Amino acid sequence: MSTVIEQPVEARLVAAAPRMPSIPATLRYDRQDPFAVRMTFPAPATLEGVEVCWTFARELLVSGLEEPVGRGDVRVRPYGYERLVMEFHAPEGTAVVHIRSAEVRGFLDRTTDLVPLGLEHLQVDLDHDLAELMRDAC
């Protein structure tokens, strides 16, 4: 079984204009980093013209499907049953996107099949990670 799950999603940028343009994005989960999810936006979809990747807790997506969560750079909340609102806060500004809840649920189901919620700690090899840190420090 693969240790990485990737899923393209369609994000809709919330802007002042009445039409919300669609932005391709990718959700990524790696068993090697079992608590985290990455969401990547391609270069053409960003103001800087470079690929942007946000990393946040998988639990944030799980909880965000049901209630508003997040106090830091990434915030998530449901918008009805069909959409999820994600806010990405950076020094340059804030981006707000809508994503179909069904796409996020499908992605989370696949991640849970790979690493069940609450059992992420079993995937972490603290001895190995500490040895890597010590090796890099020397």
Span 22-68, pLDDT tens digits: 888 999 998 888 888 999 988 877 767 788 899 999 999 999 999 99
The better pLDDT of the pair 63, 20 is held by 63
User: Rounded to whole angstroms, how far apart are CA atoms 132 and 99?
Assistant: 37
Confidence band, pLDDT 50/70/90 cuts, at residue 16: very low
Bridge partners of 10?
Answer: 24
79 versus 20: which is more confidently predicted? 79
Kindly state the average pLDDT of the residues 14-28.
73
Question: Is 86 in contact with 70 (CB distance < 8 Å)?
Answer: no
Q: For residue range 115-129, what is the model confidence (pLDDT) as tens digits?
A: 777 656 666 655 555
Token representation of residue 52 = 């942007």
Cα 40 from Cα 136, distance rounded (Å): 28
pLDDT at residue 98 greater than cutoff 50: yes
With a pLDDT cut of 70, the percent of the chain lying above it is 78
pLDDT of residue 133: 63
Query: Which DSSP string corresponds to 41-101?
Result: E-GGGSTTSS-EEEEEEHHHHHHHTTS-B-SSSEEEEEETTTEEEEEEEETTEEEEEEEEH
Please state the pTM of the whole predicted model.
0.77
Region 72-82: what's the mean pLDDT?
Answer: 93
SS3 of residue 107 by DSSP: helix
SS3 5: strand
130 pLDDT above the threshold of 70? no
